[in-house]
């Protein structure tokens, strides 16, 4: 590309260089001098703008052009009136992708790309036809053309399947997808093995099911898909990524042990996800098995067996002795029947990544559970931030297949990278589009650094209620003793008003764990810790998941805070953050300035105008504002660790060597006690 100097362009346009430079600045193009140069494309746009006829003439001319164009060709959709001024005509709604380019936008708005580029230039944006537009800009442009644009986010289904719009929705039945949950050692893994093996022995003697993260079992009445990673951690992790694949939870409770903390957690997770539970009372072969006690315990959690008038299906099994397995499978199918599970068939294939890895020979492979549509070899797709083209598909029995439908776990080869479990998978029109979306998503991920948006918080509760965003405040309570947990549950739920319902989705005893944080994240809940603290792992997770955790040791304070938060009266707590430390090494008497402390900065940074404290033997002897900060007689704004500086205070001069100066800032933080 050849560049053109400003003065050359100015001459060409019949302007002097300073006028052109000024014009360019007006258009948002920064140039240093008349010796600077512009690339050809920019120069072309500058020519287009600066050679424009005066405004009235321009409108006339454009109107003429429009008329001529109308004469030339028949248009079913006449172009929108050109961007004159705001009209009172209601705007037409249009859906535009977040990843739209200038050219695509022009097509959708029924105008020429050149016009869009010109409009952009007027907005101070230099563009080319393949440039992707910022959603705000897209919206403004659409508005200029009389449209009200709805921007489809990068992860919406519509954005990828715009051109696939089916005429009629065709629903087909699909098999249930099951996750096994329960307390550690209650037999989840063995139960999954037992189910798989019973099935293999029945159907294909000696057959080996390969591990792809999910497997299919077939019984007389239908098929069931089991996810191979038991426990609520994986379930919650998937949900945290926005994926919900499980239709039914099988809750394993050991008959010799009863309901344990993770049993309760599993129930809470399933409830939040609104997934029905089938209770499997395991280890009934054990001499000390007490299934009746399990039923009683679970009834207390709201899972009442049908025989006692409830609606939870209970099955007694022994994973070890293979007792009750067939019955369990039948009951799962019965529960599935009630759910009437359906999938859309005439849609581009869409699903969720269950598992993915980098295989030494095959490259990136992923197990996908399709939720709608049919997937075929050769289809282009986007999976999380990756893209690809289906090279081969292998089912859970290790057989290659050419096509697959909803609710069937399938291993797919042909990905550009390894996606994460829970990432969405969707087929798009072609490879170009898949690559485009994947690149954009990857770029977005880098920009956002995977920052998750904060869920509900007490601080913003009132705002959120006012906006109508919160109708229910989900709360998780962890306390040192069950009695406090119960008392808090009762008191908090009683605070419910017409506007907002307070719901304790889980209460338990012990420190705040990763699992609690995950549950809070997926359920959009806050966590209240009473006489307990988060574990280090939970603390780590809290950093990234931005869940509001509040720690208390007085029940009254919990109630008062939640009440205040509901009314928007919760005062933010001000906390201090120490910014640095400096040690006084020498004192100087400076005429007119008083005594200056010659310091060495040992940590952090010392800033002028900061609030400071002077410490002597760890006791605060002065607190106030710093008035002068100098380095070699020069006034400076800050000094970092490893440097010397001179510090002066207006109202304090009683320095001694060895004093410590500690600047700090005050920040509003979530209340913690
Ligand atoms: P998980 O932690 O829930 O996955 O539990 P596992 O499947 O690893 O089982 C924990 C222990 O319980 C193992 O030693 C199993 O052999 C044993 N176990 C599991 N199911 C049964 C059962 O039905 N009967 C008996 N007696 N032991 C069982």
DSSP labels, 184-242:
TTSSHHHHHHHHHHHHHHHHSTT-----SSEEEEEETTEEEEEESS-SHHHHHHHHHTT
Indicate the fold that domain 575-669 takes in CATH: Elongation Factor Tu (Ef-tu); domain 3 (2.40.30)
Ligand 1 atom nearest the C-alpha of 318 is 23
How many Cβ atoms are within 10 Å of 4's Cβ, its own excluded?
Answer: 17
Mutational pocket test of ligand 1: of 179, 185, 187, 325, the residue with most ligand atoms within 8 Å of the beta carbon: 187
Compute the Cα dihedral for 377, 381, 384, 388 and give only its sign.
Answer: positive
- For the Cβ of 450 lying below 6 angstroms from any atom of ligand 1, the answer is no
Q: Which of 115, 82, 78, 116 is nearest to 96 (CA)?
A: 116
* Six token digits for residue 566: 């509901």
- For the Cβ of 256 lying below 6 angstroms from any atom of ligand 1, the answer is no
Distance from the alpha carbon of residue 188 to the mean position of ligand 1, in angstroms: 7
- For the Cβ of 186 lying below 6 angstroms from any atom of ligand 1, the answer is yes
Q: Map residue 491 onto helix, strand or coil.
A: helix
Q: Which of 174, 196, 168 is nearest to 369 (CA)?
A: 174
**69-107 pLDDT per residue, tens:** 444 333 544 444 444 444 455 678 888 877 788 888 898
Nearest CA owner, ligand 1 atom 6 = 187
Distance from the alpha carbon of residue 257 to the mean position of ligand 1, in angstroms: 12
DSSP labels, 220-234:
TTEEEEEESS-SHHH
Residue 98: its pLDDT value, please? Answer: 78
CA pair distance 471, 455, nearest whole angstrom: 14
Fold agreement (348-447, 575-669) = yes
Ligand 1 atom nearest the C-alpha of 286 is 26
Residue 337: its pLDDT value, please? Answer: 92
Beta carbons of 464 and 517 less than 8 angstroms apart: no
Distance from the alpha carbon of residue 252 to the mean position of ligand 1, in angstroms: 10
Distance from the alpha carbon of residue 509 to the mean position of ligand 1, in angstroms: 25
Residue 73: its pLDDT value, please? Answer: 39
**124-177 pLDDT per residue, tens:** 788 888 887 888 888 889 988 888 888 877 777 665 655 555 557 788 889 999
* Six token digits for residue 8: 């050359």
Distance from the alpha carbon of residue 224 to the mean position of ligand 1, in angstroms: 22
Distance from the alpha carbon of residue 258 to the mean position of ligand 1, in angstroms: 14
Residue 74: its pLDDT value, please? Answer: 39
Residue 206: its pLDDT value, please? Answer: 43
Distance from the alpha carbon of residue 230 to the mean position of ligand 1, in angstroms: 13
Strand spans (E) along 228-284? 248-254, 277-282
Residue 1: its pLDDT value, please? Answer: 52
- For the Cβ of 322 lying below 6 angstroms from any atom of ligand 1, the answer is no
- For the Cβ of 233 lying below 6 angstroms from any atom of ligand 1, the answer is no
- For the Cβ of 318 lying below 6 angstroms from any atom of ligand 1, the answer is yes
Distance from the alpha carbon of residue 318 to the mean position of ligand 1, in angstroms: 9
Correct CATH for 461-571 of 3.20.20.80, 3.40.50.10050, 3.30.70.120, 2.40.50.100: 3.40.50.10050
Residue 96: its pLDDT value, please? Answer: 83
- For the Cβ of 288 lying below 6 angstroms from any atom of ligand 1, the answer is no
Residues sharing a CB contact under 8 Å with residue 492, sequence separation 6 or more, in sequence order: 475, 477, 502, 504, 528, 558, 559, 562
**340-355 pLDDT per residue, tens:** 998 888 778 889 999 8
- For the Cβ of 539 lying below 6 angstroms from any atom of ligand 1, the answer is no
- For the Cβ of 287 lying below 6 angstroms from any atom of ligand 1, the answer is no
Indicate the fold that domain 3-56 takes in CATH: Arc Repressor Mutant, subunit A (1.10.10)
Distance from the alpha carbon of residue 283 to the mean position of ligand 1, in angstroms: 7
Residue corresponding to tokens 């019973």: 198
Region at 215 (left for phi over 0; alpha for psi -120 to 50; beta for the rest)? beta
Nearest CA owner, ligand 1 atom 2 = 185
> What is the distance, to the nearest Å, from the Cα of residue 369 to the centroid of all Cα atoms in its chain?
21
- For the Cβ of 320 lying below 6 angstroms from any atom of ligand 1, the answer is yes
* Six token digits for residue 439: 């690149």
- For the Cβ of 348 lying below 6 angstroms from any atom of ligand 1, the answer is no
Ligand 1 atom nearest the C-alpha of 193 is 7
Distance from the alpha carbon of residue 187 to the mean position of ligand 1, in angstroms: 4
Domain residue limits, the chain: 3-56, 92-152, 175-340, 348-447, 461-571, 575-669
Residue 657: its pLDDT value, please? Answer: 92
Ligand 1 atom nearest the C-alpha of 182 is 3
pLDDT < 50: residue spans in the chain: 54-74, 76-87, 201-207, 450-454, 670-673
Nearest CA owner, ligand 1 atom 25 = 283
| Burial (CB count within 10 angstroms: exposed 0-12, middle 13-18, buried 19+), residue 644 | middle
Beta carbons of 249 and 178 less than 8 angstroms apart: yes
- For the Cβ of 285 lying below 6 angstroms from any atom of ligand 1, the answer is yes
Distance from the alpha carbon of residue 285 to the mean position of ligand 1, in angstroms: 11
How many Cβ atoms are within 10 Å of 458's Cβ, its own excluded?
Answer: 20
**Partners of 669 in the beta sheet?**
573
- For the Cβ of 189 lying below 6 angstroms from any atom of ligand 1, the answer is yes
Ligand 1 atom nearest the C-alpha of 252 is 3
The domain 92-152 having CATH identifier 1.10.405: the answer here is no
Distance from the alpha carbon of residue 288 to the mean position of ligand 1, in angstroms: 15
How many Cβ atoms are within 10 Å of 632's Cβ, its own excluded?
Answer: 8
User: How do strand 501-509 and strand 472-479 relate by DSSP bridges?
Assistant: parallel
User: How do strand 472-479 and strand 525-530 relate by DSSP bridges?
Assistant: parallel
Nearest CA owner, ligand 1 atom 18 = 187
Q: Which of 450, 395, 380, 390 is nearest to 420 (CA)?
A: 450
Indicate the fold that domain 348-447 takes in CATH: Elongation Factor Tu (Ef-tu); domain 3 (2.40.30)
Distance from the alpha carbon of residue 186 to the mean position of ligand 1, in angstroms: 6
Beta carbons of 354 and 227 less than 8 angstroms apart: yes
CATH H-level, domain 175-340: superfamily? P-loop containing nucleotide triphosphate hydrolases (3.40.50.300)
Ligand 1 atom nearest the C-alpha of 282 is 23
């Amino acid at each position: 590309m050849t560049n053109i100097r400003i003065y050359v362009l100015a001459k060409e346009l019949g302007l002097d260089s300073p006028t052109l430079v000024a014009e360019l600045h007006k258009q948002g193009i920064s140039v240093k001098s008349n010796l600077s140069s512009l690339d050809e494309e920019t120069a072309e746009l500058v020519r287009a703008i600066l050679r424009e006829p005066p405004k009235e003439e321009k409108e006339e001319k454009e109107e003429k052009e429009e008329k001529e164009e109308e004469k030339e060709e028949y248009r079913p959709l006449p172009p929108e009136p050109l961007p004159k001024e705001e009209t009172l005509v209601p705007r037409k709604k249009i859906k535009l992708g977040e990843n739209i380019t200038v050219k695509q936008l022009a097509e959708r708005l029924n105008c020429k790309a050149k016009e869009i580029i010109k409009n952009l230039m007027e907005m101070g944006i230099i563009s080319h036809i393949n440039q992707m537009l910022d959603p705000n800009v897209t919206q403004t442009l659409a508005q200029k053309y009389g449209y009200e644009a709805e921007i489809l986010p990068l992860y919406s289904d519509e954005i990828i399947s715009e051109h696939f719009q089916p005429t009629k929705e065709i629903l087909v039945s699909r098999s249930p997808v099951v996750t096994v949950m329960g307390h550690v050692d209650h037999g989840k893994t063995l139960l999954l093995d037992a189910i798989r093996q019973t099935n293999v022995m029945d159907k294909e003697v000696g057959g080996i099911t390969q591990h792809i993260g999910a497997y299919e079992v077939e019984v007389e009445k239908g098929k069931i898909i089991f996810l191979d990673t038991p426990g609520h951690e994986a379930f919650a992790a998937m949900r945290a990524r926005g994926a919900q694949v499980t239709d039914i939870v099988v809750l394993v409770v050991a008959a010799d042990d009863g309901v344990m903390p993770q049993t309760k957690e599993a129930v809470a997770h399933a409830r939040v996800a609104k997934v029905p539970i089938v209770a499997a009372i395991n280890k009934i072969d054990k001499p000390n098995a007490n299934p009746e006690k399990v039923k009683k315990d679970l009834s207390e959690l709201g899972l009442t067996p049908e025989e006692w008038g409830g609606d939870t299906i209970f099955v007694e099994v022994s994973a070890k002795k293979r007792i009750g397995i067939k019955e369990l499978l039948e009951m799962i199918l019965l529960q599935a029947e009630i759910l009437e599970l359906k999938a859309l068939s005439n849609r581009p294939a869409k699903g969720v990544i269950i598992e993915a890895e980098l295989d030494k020979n095959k490259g990136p492979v992923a197990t996908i559970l399709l939720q709608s549509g049919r997937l075929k070899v050769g289809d282009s797709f986007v999976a999380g931030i990756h893209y690809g083209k289906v090279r081969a598909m292998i089912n859970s029995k290790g057989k290659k297949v050419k096509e697959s439908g909803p609710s069937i776990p399938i291993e797919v080869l042909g990905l550009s990278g390894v996606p994460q479990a829970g990432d969405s998978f969707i087929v798009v029109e072609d490879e170009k589009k898949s690559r485009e979306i994947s690149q954009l998503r990857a770029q977005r991920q880098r920009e956002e650094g995977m920052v998750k948006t904060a869920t509900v918080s007490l601080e913003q509760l009132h705002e959120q209620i006012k906006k109508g965003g919160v109708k229910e405040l989900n709360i998780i309570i962890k306390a040192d003793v069950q009695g406090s947990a119960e008392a808090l549950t009762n008191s908090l739920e009683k605070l419910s008003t017409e506007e907002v319902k307070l719901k304790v989705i889980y209460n338990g005893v012990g420190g705040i764990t990763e699992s609690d944080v995950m549950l809070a994240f997926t359920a959009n809940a806050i966590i209240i810790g009473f006489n307990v603290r988060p574990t280090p792992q939970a603390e780590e997770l809290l950093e990234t998941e931005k869940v509001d955790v509040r720690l208390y040791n007085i029940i009254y304070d919990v109630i008062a805070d939640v009440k205040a938060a509901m009314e928007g009266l919760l005062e933010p707590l001000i906390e201090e953050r120490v910014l640095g430390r400096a040690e006084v090494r020498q004192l100087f008497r400076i005429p007119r300035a008083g005594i200056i402390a010659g310091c060495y900065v040992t940590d952090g940074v010392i800033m002028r105008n900061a609030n400071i404290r002077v410490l002597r033997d760890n006791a605060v002897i002065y607190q106030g504002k710093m008035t002068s900060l100098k380095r070699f007689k020069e006034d400076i704004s800050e000094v970092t660790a490893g440097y010397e500086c001179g510090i002066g205070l207006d109202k304090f001069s009683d320095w001694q060597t060895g004093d410590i100066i500690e600047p700090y800032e005050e920040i509003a933080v979530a209340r913690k006690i």
